[in-house]
Structures are given as C-alpha cells and as structure tokens.
Structure 1
C-alpha cells in the first residue's frame, strides 16, 4: 500500500503551532475529526492512550502517533510539520518536527503494522526528511511523499 492512498491532503498541516504532546495531537486530530466525523476529543483520547504505552516519538525529529478506532471505515494518515519542534517525549529527548498520524479500524491490525513499517522505512532516508522539513505547501508534501514512496 502506497502512503498517498491513505494520506488525506486535508489532514496535512505544514505549520503546527503546538509546543507539547497533547496540543500537537489536538492539532493533528482536528482535520481528521472533520474527515471522519469522529469527535476530536475521541481521536485525541485514542492517541493519548497509545502514548501512555510508550512515546511514539521515535527520535531523529520524528513522531508517528497512531491508534485504532472503532467504526473507522479505512486507514487514514495525516501529516504535520513543526518548524520549531515539539516536546514529544521522544526516545532521544530531542524536539520532534515531522509527524505522521496513523489511524486504522480496530480490525485492521495487519495493514496498520505494514503501514507503520513503511512510514518508518521512508523516514530513515535523510534526504526525504530534509525535503519534508523544507516543504512550503501541502502540494509539496504530497509530491515529496509520492516521489519517495514510488521509488521505494
């Protein structure tokens, strides 16, 4: 599965303002709530429950908050960019700048894990991360992800 198949352009925010974990999850969840019709506070609750198991801030400026949501019809991915960085309790203790939000239906464990792995592999490429950090528009994010994912 290619990332652009489940990444919603409306769920891309290249100007995150949050400075802490809860607020960034609120910002990332807001467009997803509009897309899915799920209350924003429910999305944040699911994401925070997952964070309590261990931070999804994997280090290197990357966070992949994710969760499973009852009643969600299909996988959904959002993207956020914080140019100043967020205190996200990452494994390396450094600020997090790039966020991929992944929500999946409760019964999609296999696809959920495959997509998490794909996002992680893409983010191991320094050039990809650097390009995303420089993205000036939603269209640029989509182009960068599309080109990198296609070549992968």
Structure 2
C-alpha cells in the first residue's frame, strides 16, 4: 500500500499554526474529520490518548500521531507542516516540524503497522524531509510525497 492510496490532497496542511501538541493534533484532525464524517473531538481524543502511551514524536523533526477509530471504514492519512516547530515530546528532545497523522479502523492492525513502517522508512531520508520543509503549497507537498512513494515501491 502506498501513502497516496490513503492521503488526500484536502488532508494536507502546508502551514500549521498551533504552538503546542494538543493544538497540532486538533489542526491535523480537522480535515480528516471533515473527510470521513468523524466527530472532531472524538478523533482528537483518540490521538491524545495514544500520545499518553508514549510520544509519537520520533525525532529528526518528525511526529507521526496515530490512532484507531471504531466505525471508520478505511485508513486515512493527513499531513501537516509547522515551520516554526512544536514541542512534541520527541525522543530526541527537538521540536517537530513534519507531521503525518494516521487514522485507521479499529481492526486494521496489520495494515496500520505496515503504513507506519512505510512512513518511517520514507522519513529517514534527509533529502525527503528537506524537500517537504521547503515546499510552499499543498500541491507541491503532494507531489514530493508522490515521488518518494513511487521511488520506495
């Protein structure tokens, strides 16, 4: 499964404005809630509950918040960029700038883990992260992700 199979253009936010973790999660959740019909506060609650288990700030300026939602019929990925960076309780203690949010049906553990692994692999590339950080628009971000997605099989 490719990232673009589950990432819609409308769930890409080129300029996140929040300055804290909860605000970032609220911003990232909004277009996903709109797209799926999920109740926004419920989606934010699921993401925050997952953060309580351990931060999804994996280091190198990256956060991959994720959660499983009962009643959701498909996986959905969103993307957001915080140019100023946000304290996301990252493993390396540095601010996070690049966020992929992953929301999956409650029973989709295998696909959920495969998608997280694919995102992690793509995000290991310094060049990919630099390209994302310099992207100016939703369309440009989508194209960068598409190119990286295609190169990684």
Which bin holds the TM-score, normalised by the shorter protein?
over 0.9
Residue 149 of structure 1: CA displacement? 1.0
Query: Which residue matches 2:25?
Result: 25
Deviating beyond 4 angstroms after TM superposition, the runs of 4 or more aligned structure 1 residues are none
Partner Cα separation in structure 2 for residue 57 and residue 40 of structure 1: 22
Matches for 1:84-95 after TM superposition, within 5 Å: 84-95=84-95
The whole-number CA distance in structure 2 between the counterparts of 1:11 and 1:118 is 18
Partner of 2:63: 63
> Residues 97-118 of structure 1, C-alpha deviation per residue, up to 9 Å, x if partnerless?
0000000000110000000000
Q: Which runs of 5+ in 2 are unaligned?
A: none
> Scaled by the length of structure 1, what TM-score is found?
0.99
Q: How many residues align?
A: 152
| Runs of 5+ consecutive residues of structure 1 not aligned to the other structure | none
**Partner of 1:102: helix, strand, or coil?**
strand
Distance 2:128 2:88 in 1: 21
* C-alpha RMSD over aligned residues: 0.5
Secondary structure of the residue aligned to 2:124 is coil
- 2:143 maps to 143
2:113 aligned partner: 113
Q: 1:140 Cα deviation (Å)?
A: 0.6
CA distance in 2, matches of 1:24, 1:9: 18
Find the counterpart in structure 1 of residue 41 from structure 2.
41
